[in-house]
Amino acid sequence: MGIQLRGRHLLTFDTWSRQEVDLVLEVAHDLKRRYALGEITELLKHKTLFMIFYEQSTRTRNSLEAAMTQLGGHAHDLTPDKMQLSHGESPKDTARVLSRMGEGIAVRICFYQVGHRYLRELAEYATVPVISMQDDVYHPLQVIADVMTLQEYFGRDLRGLKVAITWAYATTHAKPLSVPQSQILLFPRYGMEVTVAHPPEFPLQRDIVERARARAAEAGVRLEFVDSMEEAVRDADVVIPKNWGGFAYFEEWRDAPEQWEAMKAHLEKYRHWTLTPEIFSLARKHARIMHALPADRGHEVTDDLLDGPHSIIYDEAENRLHTAKAVLALTMGGR
């Protein structure tokens, strides 16, 4: 095999070649087939993954832990209060110590303008793979599962597929930018035509958008931004309603009370940004609905759509397991 990923950090797939991403997808499809047949795939027998969570998690925590179990290894479920991180231990010391005790380090840290920087510093000093379980900029484990799910429904060649990624109203919490940003970076590399809809107060990061435009230009596909959910959804093959916070709206994010109040005020102006059956009817008849979950039901998207025949959200969630197994097996295993 010409491609070797053993020891490779995964902070974003944007630094991986198309051939490397293809290999992850190929292995994920194979591991899913083998799982369905009840085959044992102990590719990481007796190996250890340290999982550090600064935030809550359902799909990421359980997909990674189940992945390590099914691969024959073990995952440590860690939070800062269980470690010296709560007393200010440096990323350098954490990385070097854990590197001597196991074969991989995975971290979820989504604090805006903090998370990705922390992961980069951890990766600088770790001698084992560091895997982002989501930060403030990227969510590689979600986007690879998204691509796998799209391949299952639309075929391995996704060129020409029209995807609408639309901001949606939510009241649960100000969600990170990392899911839509990872999607606009990777989807065009697979030939997808992407339209992003968002209100002006809820943009994505300017540098990410510029890089995504370059990716789309390299692939010869369209990436456009509009300010109307209806315009994005019209004639789409895939619709992804997703809330994200307005962090990138401010010239400088300071996590100050006045900025949170401003973001909340902006949010309330767009209560009507909900994917409803009426808006979804503008998409193509065969269109599918995706969501990274957890969904703010009734706000981001209505229940009847999430639970209806066009929804593939649970296939998408299941594929978090199979793509996680592929990433872990390729980066922590091998020869």
pLDDT digits (tens, 9 = 90+) for 285-296: 999 999 999 999
- Do domains 13-139+320-332 and 142-316 share one topology? The answer is yes
CA contacts within 13 A on the Cβ side of 171: 8
- Residue 311: Cβ within 10 Å count: 18
Structure tokens at 301: 């998207």
pLDDT at 87 over 90: no
Structure tokens at 69: 């179990």
Phi and psi dihedrals of 48, rounded to 5?
Answer: -125, 135
Query: Mean pLDDT, to the nearest integer, of 12-19?
Result: 98
pLDDT at 1 over 60: no
> At the fourth CATH level, which superfamily is domain 142-316?
Aspartate/ornithine carbamoyltransferase (3.40.50.1370)
pLDDT cut 90: percent of the chain above it: 92
Fold category of 13-139+320-332 in CATH: Rossmann fold (3.40.50)
pLDDT cut 70: percent of the chain above it: 98
pLDDT at 154 over 70: yes
Q: What angle, rounded to 10 degrees, do the helices at 140-154 and 313-332 form?
A: 120
pLDDT at 84 over 80: no
**Of 223, 146, 142, 217, whose CA–CA distance to 177 is shortest?**
142
Q: Where are the domains of the chain?
A: 13-139+320-332, 142-316
- pTM comes to 0.96
